[in-house]
Amino acid sequence: MKRILVVRNDKIGDFMLAWPAFALLKASLDCHLTALVPGYTQPLAGLCPDIDAVLADPGKNGDAAAQKSLLKQLKNGNFDAVICLFSNFRNAKLMWQAGIPRRWAPATKLAQVFYTHRVKQRRSESAKPEYEYNLDLVRAFLAENGITPVEPSPPYLHFEADELAAFRVRQATALGIDADRPWLLVHAGSGGSANNLSAAQYAELITRLKADCPVAQAVLTAGPGEEALAKEVAGMAGDGAVTASGLPLPDFCRLLACGQLFVAGSTGPLHIAAALDVPTVGFFPLRRSATPLRWRPLNSEGRHLAFHPPAGAEAEDMSSVNVAAVADKVSPWAAAFLS
């Protein structure tokens, strides 16, 4: 099989958790790998070293002309197989309409009738990280084709040292901070993906971490529509905290790569930082489909800490997270990164 399509056309965080699957497929099989992603994820997909080509999906709400164009591209792609890491009825029917001969996906929902190969995963049980479910699907594909898997390892996203050093200096100048001191990056926005800490909680955490690591500089990162929240947190944290926003997605990734520690809720930027293997601190609700286990980031061992509401609290009540207790655990662990 020479031409493989992989579908992950949902949110940015979900897409980032597919990067180990891309790496496994590319390392194990000499193939041309195309990814189908939403338009807003396309610049991010362009950074993935294991993706050879990207198709932008207009989504279910795209106009008829865009839908027709996508189907034509899929038909003209001459794909030998497709692996749907994200399966719904639209994706399943689209791959069938495109005439891709071998169609792989999790064996869930009515959509599975459109696939030629189905893998039982029970993702709804959230028994393992999302990226492991993705890897298992690719492993099943490789096994069916008699191919020995070559397992990947972090980091999954990387920038050259010289390029990143020059970018860091430019950003330091733009933000009015020191390029030579460690950067504590905090992303208070959530993109609506999961309940998150409040602005006051993030500000308190920054204040406590800086008290223990005074050399660290706090940088509040923000995506589109999150600028006001970032400024609010920076203002509450004080002590020179600055905000960084308005960057194109590839430069936003470079900014995260400049951080010595990244703090966020369960959202896309957390998973980008983890793909870079920047040490991460994540905050997760305890709803079964949103737990720290299910959405564990891609950091290598020892470079991620997860926190959630305490026992007895409501599963999604992030206000119950004790920031002082969090800081007591994070500070000694983060000292090696922020010193």
Is the confidence at residue 141, as pLDDT, over 80?
A: yes
For the whole model, what pTM was predicted? 0.96
Say whether both 127 and 255 belong to one domain: no
Q: Looking at residue 339, what is its pLDDT?
A: 86
Q: How confident is the model at residue 123 (pLDDT cuts 50, 70, 90)?
A: confident
Q: Looking at residue 239, what is its pLDDT?
A: 87
Separation CA 41–CA 17 (nearest Å):
13
Mean pLDDT over each residue of the chain, to the nearest integer: 95
Report if residue 205 sits inside a domain.
yes
Report if residue 155 sits inside a domain.
no
Rounded-to-5 percentages of helix, strand, coil across the chain: 45, 15, 40
**Length of the chain, in residues:** 339
> What are 40-70's pLDDT values in tens digits?
999 999 999 999 999 999 999 999 999 999 9
Report if residue 154 sits inside a domain.
no
Report if residue 87 sits inside a domain.
yes
> What are 5-21's pLDDT values in tens digits?
999 999 999 999 999 99
Choosing from 144, 179, 213, the residue where a domain stops is 144
Say whether both 208 and 256 belong to one domain: yes
Choosing from 98, 115, 144, the residue where a domain stops is 144
Which structural domain range is residue 97 located in?
3-144
CB atoms within 10 A of CB 36: 26
Is the confidence at residue 132, as pLDDT, over 90?
A: yes
Strand order in the sheet with 32-38: 53-57, 32-38, 3-7, 81-84, 102-106, 117-119
Say whether both 126 and 37 belong to one domain: yes
Say whether both 230 and 188 belong to one domain: yes
Say whether both 211 and 333 belong to one domain: yes
Is the confidence at residue 1, as pLDDT, over 90?
A: no
Choosing from 86, 114, 144, the residue where a domain stops is 144
* Average pLDDT score over residue span 132-146: 97
Work out the angle between the directed axes of helices 323-338 and 199-212 (0-180°, nearest 10). 50
* Average pLDDT score over residue span 63-86: 96
Report if residue 153 sits inside a domain.
no
- Tokens 């891609």 correspond to what residue? 298
Work out the angle between the directed axes of helices 130-144 and 19-28 (0-180°, nearest 10). 20
Q: Looking at residue 124, what is its pLDDT?
A: 85
Q: How confident is the model at residue 190 (pLDDT cuts 50, 70, 90)?
A: confident
Residues 267 and 194 sit within 8 Å (Cβ to Cβ): yes
Kind of pairing between the strands at 217-221 and 183-187: parallel
DSSP E strands in 216-328: the ranges are 217-221, 242-244, 261-265, 280-283, 304-307
> What are 85-109's pLDDT values in tens digits?
999 999 999 999 999 999 999 987 7
Q: Which of 140, 188, 169, 196 is nearest to 21 (CA)?
A: 140
> What are 217-264's pLDDT values in tens digits?
999 999 999 999 999 999 999 889 999 999 999 999 999 999 999 999
Report if residue 187 sits inside a domain.
yes
Q: Which of 31, 44, 130, 30 is nearest to 86 (CA)?
A: 130
Say whether both 243 and 173 belong to one domain: yes
Say whether both 47 and 115 belong to one domain: yes
Tally the domains of the chain.
Answer: 2
Q: How confident is the model at residue 194 (pLDDT cuts 50, 70, 90)?
A: confident
Do you find a cis peptide bond into 155, omega within 30 degrees of 0? yes
* DSSP summary character for residue 300: P
Report if residue 156 sits inside a domain.
no
Separation CA 82–CA 8 (nearest Å):
11
Q: Looking at residue 243, what is its pLDDT?
A: 98
Q: Which of 339, 294, 331 is nearest to 13 (CA)?
A: 294
DSSP E strands in the chain: the ranges are 3-7, 32-38, 53-57, 81-84, 102-106, 117-119, 183-187, 217-221, 242-244, 261-265, 280-283, 304-307
Say whether both 109 and 184 belong to one domain: no
Q: Looking at residue 335, what is its pLDDT?
A: 95
Which is it for the CA torsion 42, 135, 259, 162, positive or negative?
Answer: negative
CA 154 to chain centre: 13
Burial-class residue 278 by CB neighbours within 10 Å (0-12, 13-18, 19+): buried
Separation CA 128–CA 161 (nearest Å):
34
Q: Looking at residue 224, what is its pLDDT?
A: 93
Q: Looking at residue 82, what is its pLDDT?
A: 98
Kind of pairing between the strands at 261-265 and 183-187: parallel
Say whether both 103 and 206 belong to one domain: no
Say whether both 318 and 221 belong to one domain: yes
CATH number reported for the structural domain that contains residue 85 in this entry: 3.40.50.2000
Say whether both 57 and 140 belong to one domain: yes
* Average pLDDT score over residue span 266-295: 95
Say whether both 277 and 305 belong to one domain: yes
* Average pLDDT score over residue span 306-332: 95
Report if residue 151 sits inside a domain.
no
